[in-house]
Structure 1
């Protein structure tokens, strides 16, 4: 799997990441969601440079222009619920893409730090020979992406898989590199070094779903 790390080079994305992490800013839910969405747009733009294109003719008021346009069938799949703002940002760029939604959440069966990833909902078109974009803002252990990939297998084999995340832990990225096909890509804004004992990214930003939409009862 090839990793594309956005913050290896300075850009306005630094500002959006800073505001997502900053406890004095992140409690503004609307700003938090919008910053996730804007990073989705930036990551999708970078991803677009790797896609296949074909030329087409476009008639203008003064003549004919030759334009290269994306020549791939795209499906954007978001992991609910934190993935929704990120999904919106990606869809803002790939507005003709098909869409898929899947649930994947941490279940603590013993009410302690041990957890498993459960998948309970899936709505998706066929993925056979499509370009699949899997979106989840936080890449911690990597288990959510792996479980989702397993659940999506019944929808057909995609041509290529692109993962899109805002912040990830190096441990989770290394795990995905072992599991996902070699021709897969990870597009990520920021990479942090550590996971804590609960499997949360450090320094990270907290629970992205709660910051987007408010706290939830634990399962």
Structure 2
């Protein structure tokens, strides 16, 4: 008898600027190559289907600045508590459902801001106003974790996420937001950029880099996310 396929659920939507369709489509071949039967949903209603959710091995979500019904959120959290994995990147996981404190506790981090470039650089009210050069630093004590093993500190030119988080996260990489003459904070702020979180019998993986398909094509970002999906999976 052939082995049963693993199941991956891809849930996408929300703000179009994060290219939820194109971004998730770029991971579908990877999931298929690793033996996953993939279901793609453009809404969160599937989370309330307890029977189906019990069969899912990993949930890959990119759904930015959206809302979620209480029964859908309960279904998502219950699935992870019972062993499903949860994985995602950028605002698609760390800025998904601002109306839910339960989701914030579950994921372990909430987007707060991404600092702008200097005003003298002619800000145009576009996403690129917040594209800055910054470094993602691998936490030395976690450098042997399978998600980041063999990856050194790397530089990006994209949004740098300031996230509000807690100490329950297992942080694999950080990024430090500097002090500038044109922002209000007075000392550098170091935020998690890649973290994992254990929830019930399940695993959660979050990477804050991943604004669009261009960032997702960066070799370091891509490797971290692909490994994170596999790590989180049941």
> Quick check: TM above 0.5?
no
Q: RCO (CA 8 Å, sep 6+): is it higher in 1 or 2?
A: 1
TM-score, normalised by the number of residues in structure 1: 0.32
